[in-house]
Structure 1
Amino acid sequence: MTKDFTRRETLLAGAGLAAAALLPRGAMAQAAARWQLATPYPDGNFHTRNLKQFVDEVTAATGGRLTVQMHTNGSLLPMPQIKRGVQQGQVQIGEILLSAYGNEDPFFEVDGLPQLVTSYAEARRLSELAKPYIETRFQRQGVSLLYMVPWPPSGFYTNTPVATIDALRGTKMRTFSTMTNRFATLVGAAPTLVQAAEIPQAFATGVVNSMVTSAATGVDSQAWDYARIFTPIGFTFTRNAVFVQRRALEALSPADQAAVRAAAAAAETRGFAMSEEAASSAQATLATRGMTVAPPTPALLDGMQRVSNTMVDEWIVRAGEDGQRLIAAYRARS
């Protein structure tokens, strides 16, 4: 009787193994799915904190079937390599400043157009209108958009007052995208591409002596060590995009894919609120650290609008019909 029982156990175990072998590979692998995530921003940045909460919510919602290891501050991949890294499977999730990829597709630059967006309500509207176009482009490249969150509005960092646009002429301006490079050229500054993590060194060595970026980046890079004046002008509300390799996402069960999407939607809503909070708190930090926060003069804003009109017209030509449709839709609803 013992021999019969042992034989029956063996047969049942064998049948179980055979059945497991017939399961789709994705169904077997998903229980141990572990993704790598690359972001160029430091741990204290609000984008990174939002991303960390997204990661925690994904792990909880999937019951631990999916875990994500974060690599912050460009420690695994610098920002110019993150998108390609996700496409090639070096990492499964990436975060980038979307407008920094304008050389790849001019459509990614739309939120880098100065003075096109001047409030969070306008930033949200432009983001929603642009999202289908961006999703289509990402899908063709083997990645899937999860969410987008804007940076706080940008301003000028200088050591002398910027009362008019002409005050920027002749400066060595730190740039981070095609759009900021073009802006610097139009105002007569010398553009130099510098990644966020390298800003302090670039100022210290005289490579640059001015820049236009958010107050949050100024805090991250301790701008009070190299600049005396911050002039907030609402230059842009550039967006970070968080995206995933399509193959990795589609390997998850439908329920876990839905959990990732739900966490991403929550991160986008939360990120907008965090950005607004960062806009005021970061600017206050700059002032507390001894920087002069100088409101823009009417003459400066007039000069900015002239440059903006030129850049919008140029962008529509480069972005083609999609760009023309987007700007028309945005202006119709403004």
Structure 2
Amino acid sequence: MQNFTMDALALLEDYANGRIRMERVFRDHQDFLANDDDWLICRFRFPRAVLLNLCAELGPVLERSTRRNHAIPAHMQVLTTLGILATGSFQRELADRSGISQPSLSNVMPAVLDGIIKMSSRYIKFPYTVGEQANIKRQFAASTGFPNVIGAIDCTHVAIRAPSQNEFVYVNRKNVHSVNVQVISDSNLLLTNLVARWPGSTHDSFILAHSSVGNRLQAGASRDGWLLGDSGYPLRRWLLTPFANPQSAEEALFNSVHVRARSVVERAIGLLKNRWRCLDASGGRLLYQPNKVCRIIMSCGVLHNVALRNGVPLPPGLPPIHHEDPDAQPPPRHEDHQRGARLRQQVMQRL
């Protein structure tokens, strides 16, 4: 008995000193793709065919990121990450369900997000060319009656855990820590611009003024088209906002048509958050540092457009999400306000 005890102690000492390597235990990965499309859409928001295309596109990037034996298959990395984005579930819960350890999932998720973000230049494109703008103008005019619209703009807040640095700048007007996200959509709810890098206290108009779209439109890229924004934005020759206090039937009609046309971006935001519940408080606020939250938001924007372009429906039974913007205060006036006011009067006469 004494010899057995001494042998056991010696073995433990060898393990502790690294002289004997403990054999790793690998868990079996579930074959999620063996399930039907309804099951896959419910959990990962895409049917099998679209998931296979995503895995094929992201696979080379994910496989190059590790050369270890028993590496997690690329499709498991993609599906497990999509499961987190779709449901807002904790990493440990998704890891247990898929047979991946929570630390392993934490390691692979950034690579999946980065791979999706690299697709953004193909899936999220603002219409700068004459042909692109003409097509979007026709769609807006046909569906809303508002002329020459090249996009509807708004911002939405994604709740986060209080960050460890600069915590106060992430507190929005509802006293919630958040990232403020700029969204521009066309009349089909496709995102044509997504800016996710500003803390919750940042005003919507500031984000637009410091975005590439805002700078290019200010420089003349809008040609004879304009964005539609709410009263949180300044009136510009390329950005039309509603009358703050309509004084005539014509102004009231303008506001009515403007609201109907601009509402597409609110519906786009609602659909984005409905499909990817991690972005809405119903899925729980995101428990990551702001930089990773911004990468998650950008990934969800790309996937939103992938879903729309492939005609993928929402899973049945999801409770609806209604977009609410904490920013309601008017922006500061600008010298371009008068030019925008004259243009608004001209558009009003055409309605």
| Both proteins in one fold, TM over 0.5 | no
Higher percent of residues as helix: 1
TM-score of the superposition, structure 2-length normalised?
Answer: 0.26
- Structure with the higher strand share, 1 or 2: 1
TM-score (norm 1): 0.27
